[in-house]
Amino acid sequence: MDLFTYPERVLPDRILAAQDSDYPTLLAGTDGAPNVLHLRGTWPLPVAAGAKIVALVGARAASGAGLERAHELARGLAERGCLVVSGGAIGIDAAAHRGALAARAPTVAVLPSGLDAPYPARHRPLFADLVQAGGALLSPFAVGTEPLKWHFPRRNQVIAGMAHAVIVVEAGTRSGSTYTAAAAARLGRMVCACPGSVGTDQLLALGAKRVTTAEDFLAALAGDERHIELAEVSGEAGRVLAALDERVKRHTDLLADATGLQPHEVASALFELELDGLAVRVPGGFIASPLARARRRVGTN
C-alpha cells in the first residue's frame, strides 16, 4: 500500500503559514509568496548548515541524454550536500528526484495540485518513495484542488522562490522551465543551464551559467566559472568563432561565406564550439556564447 491508497482524502501532515519559523526562509522573503504551504513528509529537512537548495527543472518530453544528465547532476549535487527541489513532473523533474534518491538523500517536490491528488498520478509511487526517504511534498494548493493550467506557473514561482539557484537541464523555447528560470532571475537567484537544447541555449545566450556537472555548479556558485583559453581555439573552429557575434544570428550559409569553409565544415566546427560552450544555437542560427565574450583573440592556423 502506498501513501495515497487511503479510503479517505490524504490530509497534509502540516500546514506551514508564511509567518511560521519553519516556512521556507528564501520563499518567505519574496513578493507573492503563498500564505500557506501544505506539507506531507519532513520539513525542515535535516541538511547541513549552509546547504544550498538547488532546483533542477526541464522538459517533460526530454531526450534520453537529458534524463541521464538530470539524474547524474541531481545525484552529484545531493552527494555534495545540496538539497534538490523540482516539480515532480514527467521527464527531467522525475529524473532529478530519482537522482537525489539514488544518492540516499532527501528531495522535495512542489506540486501543482492538492496533496490528496498528487499530479501526475503515475508518479504516486515516486512521491511515496520520496516521502519515505525523508523528503517532502509541498503544495501551495489546498486539499481537493485539481491541477489546473494556471496552477503550474504558480508552482514554478514557489520552486524559484525557495531555491538558491535554478538549473534548467533541457527545455524548449517557451516552457515552464524557462518560466521558472525567469522567475528566479527576477528574484536575483543564480540561473544555470545545460547546453544542447533550444531553450537552454537561449538561457546561456542571455547569461545563464553553463553547467553540466555538480562540479560546474559548485564552481559557478563560488564565482570560478569554467574557463577556456580562446587563443587555443584554432583551425576551422577558430575561423567560425571569429565570425560569430553575440548579438547577430548567423546561420550555416552565412558562416560559410564569411569563413570560406564548406557548409559541412562549418557544421562540424559549430558542433565543436557548442560542446565547448563557445557557440549557442538560437532560432535562426548561432551566436557567440557569453563564455566567448571576454576575449576575441582566436588562432586561425
Pairing state between β 36-41 and 136-139: antiparallel
Taking the C-alpha atoms of residue 177 and residue 200, their distance in angstroms, rounded to an integer, is 9
- pLDDT value at position 178? 86
**Dihedrals phi, psi of 254, to nearest 5 degrees:** -65, -40
The CATH number corresponding to 230-292 among 1.10.10.10, 1.20.1050.10, 2.60.40.10, 1.20.140.10 equals: 1.10.10.10
Which residue in 117, 107, 121 sits closest to 139, CA to CA?
117
pLDDT in tens, 246-284: 777 888 888 888 889 998 998 898 888 877 667 777 777
CATH topology of domain 14-221: Rossmann fold (3.40.50)
- pLDDT value at position 11? 59
Name residues of the chain where pLDDT drops below 50. Answer: 1-9, 227-231, 294-301
- pLDDT value at position 297? 36
| Domain assignments of the chain as residue spans, ordered by start | 14-221, 230-292
Give this prediction's pTM: 0.77
CB count in 10 Å sphere of residue 242 = 17
- pLDDT value at position 128? 92
Pairing state between β 136-139 and 107-110: parallel
- pLDDT value at position 138? 96
Q: Say whether the peptide bond before residue 120 is cis (omega within 30 degrees of 0).
A: yes
CA 122 to chain centre: 22
